[in-house]
Amino acid sequence: RRVVRPAEGEADEAEPYLAHTEGEVLVNSGEFDGLPAPEGGRRIVERLEAEGSGRPAVNFRIRDWGFSRQRYWGCPIPVVYCDVCGIVPVPDEQLPVLLPDIEDYKPKGRPPLAQAEEWVNVPCPACEAPARRETETMDTFVDSSWYFLRYCDPWNDEAPFERAAVDYWNPIDLYIGGVDHATVHMIYARFWMKVLNDLGLIGFREPFARFYSNGWVTLGNVKISKRAGNAIGPEQFVEMHGADACRLNILFLGPANEDMEWTESSIEGMARFVRRLWRVALEVCELAPEGEPVDDALARKAHATIAKVTDDVGRRFAFNTAIAAVMELVNELSRDTGGRSARFAAETAVSLLQPYAPHVTEELWERLGRSRLWTQPWPAADAALLEHETIEIAVQVNGKLRDRLHVPAGTSDDELIALALASERVRAHMNGDPRRTIVVPGRLVNVVV
Ligand SMILES: [Zn+2]
């Protein structure tokens, strides 16, 4: 039964559920009808309490966290057990408690640290009677919940960090991880930050400004993982095709935020592309004139590629489409390796691939007469050249290719039809007016006669 209605108008009775809305009021609630929902809720609980059948309470979905582990690798828990004093914290001046060197890291019914007798047996900090250290260590989430704060102030030996330093650097701009991070590590880390903020130790409540969830790599539709035991080391592919082709191939498998299936055949295609880039760039070294690029189709293509790759990588984290755009540029360049803009196009392709293929691009950069590509700024697209980017439109007569038009991007359908009908090559295949014309935007004009 419905017990609320929107502040304005009536609820849609045909809908099985009613969404909560701002200012909703109670209905079908006896004496509480017409009250705003939050106030009505309080009044109902008050009456239940007056009748002795209930009381108000706040529930947190939060549970205790037992964070000690029977592992060697973890932060020692700085407490000592004394028969006289009980549990005694290790005094500040004796911190940090460091892990001892041990022979065997495996737990054997007792924590690995228990075997380090000399480390375990210490005098009680309070009464100096023989006492024992805690031998379990903290869960790794204790460290991972705040280690990024220590990064901001790593040489501080007085405190974990200084507030001014962590407030300067945080919150973190971008958190990249699998979607499992959103439900596990992020919950611990965010909880930790809220506690530190409540204590006045940091000036922010949310540690991560943006979360980017990467997809899984699958093999036969099974997620590749340590647990599944189906991991494939990259070494054999690096050995065969080089690290550049390997890295490009991984990024080219698909959008980074979606799962992608690992295939071995794709790396061969990528290795072919790297060899093609090599050949085309060396042709440019040999054939292309030195000097500034001219305002031609290839220079415009290069600027459009810079703009696309910059946006794909910088804003969208889309590496596969960025690499595809450079492949297109290399294709265009291969048709005109001796042109006036060829050097610029080759340098652009090499520069845009440098983050993923640093070896081959550095070598080509040097052969193109430059040096130290890694010290160069990221290429900048010339906005003036982007505005009148030209595109190629295929012109067909009855579905057969008869001509190609090179027109500014954004040319209207009517203009395209007029240009197509004005073409000598098209007119040669027409006899009178066309029966109709079909325009596929950005692609082709088909004249049906
Ligand atoms: Zn004691």
Q: Using one digit for the tens of pLDDT, what is the confidence trace for 418-430?
A: 889 888 888 888 8
User: Tens digits of per-residue pLDDT, 97-149?
Assistant: 999 998 888 878 888 999 899 999 999 999 999 999 999 999 999 999 999 99
State the distance from the centre of ligand 1 to the C-alpha of 38, rounded, in angstroms. Answer: 54
State the distance from the centre of ligand 1 to the C-alpha of 437, rounded, in angstroms. Answer: 96
Structure tokens at 182: 């959103």
State the distance from the centre of ligand 1 to the C-alpha of 120, rounded, in angstroms. Answer: 15
State the distance from the centre of ligand 1 to the C-alpha of 72, rounded, in angstroms. Answer: 26
User: Tens digits of per-residue pLDDT, 235-294?
Assistant: 989 999 999 999 999 999 888 888 888 888 889 999 999 999 999 999 999 999 888 888
The reply to whether 172 and 205 lie within a common domain is yes
Which range of residues forms the domain containing residue 110?
68-141
Alpha-carbon separation of residue 177 from 8, 171, 211, 216, 312 (angstroms): 43, 17, 8, 10, 19
State the distance from the centre of ligand 1 to the C-alpha of 87, rounded, in angstroms. Answer: 8
State the distance from the centre of ligand 1 to the C-alpha of 100, rounded, in angstroms. Answer: 23
User: Tens digits of per-residue pLDDT, 306-360?
Assistant: 999 999 998 888 999 999 999 999 999 999 899 999 999 999 999 999 999 999 9
Q: What's the pLDDT score for residue 376?
A: 94
The reply to whether 115 and 72 lie within a common domain is yes
Domain boundary among 113, 141, 169: 141
State the distance from the centre of ligand 1 to the C-alpha of 118, rounded, in angstroms. Answer: 18
Q: What's the pLDDT score for residue 52?
A: 94
Q: What's the pLDDT score for residue 388?
A: 64
CB atoms within 10 A of CB 43: 15
Count Cα neighbours of 315 within 13 Å in the Cβ-side half-sphere.
6
Q: What's the pLDDT score for residue 45?
A: 94
CB atoms within 10 A of CB 222: 11
State the distance from the centre of ligand 1 to the C-alpha of 133, rounded, in angstroms. Answer: 12
State the distance from the centre of ligand 1 to the C-alpha of 142, rounded, in angstroms. Answer: 28
For the chain, what percent of residues have pLDDT higher than 70? 99
State the distance from the centre of ligand 1 to the C-alpha of 130, rounded, in angstroms. Answer: 8
The reply to whether 270 and 374 lie within a common domain is yes
Which has the closest alpha carbon to 225: 175, 176, 178? 178
* 393/391 Cα distance (integer angstroms): 6
- Strands (DSSP E) along 228-301, which ranges? 260-261
Buried b (16+ CB within 10 A) or exposed e, 364-393: bbebbeeeebeeeeebebbeebeeeebbeb
The reply to whether 362 and 289 lie within a common domain is yes
Complete DSSP assignment for 352-412: HHTTT-HHHHHHHHHHTT---GGGSPPP---HHHHHT-EEEEEEEETTEEEEEEEEETT--
ipTM over 0.90: yes
227 in a structural domain = no
| Torsion region of 100: left, alpha or beta (phi above 0 gives left; psi -120 to 50 gives alpha) | beta
Alpha-carbon separation of residue 288 from 117, 267, 297, 333, 338 (angstroms): 75, 30, 16, 11, 4
Contact 288, 339 (CB under 8 A): yes
Structure tokens at 301: 């293509």
Which has the closest alpha carbon to 328: 405, 392, 264? 392
The reply to whether 358 and 424 lie within a common domain is no
State the distance from the centre of ligand 1 to the C-alpha of 81, rounded, in angstroms. Answer: 8
State the distance from the centre of ligand 1 to the C-alpha of 109, rounded, in angstroms. Answer: 27
Q: What's the pLDDT score for residue 387?
A: 65
State the distance from the centre of ligand 1 to the C-alpha of 123, rounded, in angstroms. Answer: 8
State the distance from the centre of ligand 1 to the C-alpha of 135, rounded, in angstroms. Answer: 18
State the distance from the centre of ligand 1 to the C-alpha of 127, rounded, in angstroms. Answer: 4
Number of domains the chain contains: 5
The reply to whether 308 and 372 lie within a common domain is yes
Structure tokens at 281: 């760039």
For the chain, what percent of residues have pLDDT higher than 90? 60
Q: What's the pLDDT score for residue 183?
A: 80
Tallying the residues shown for the chain, one arrives at 449
284 in a structural domain = yes
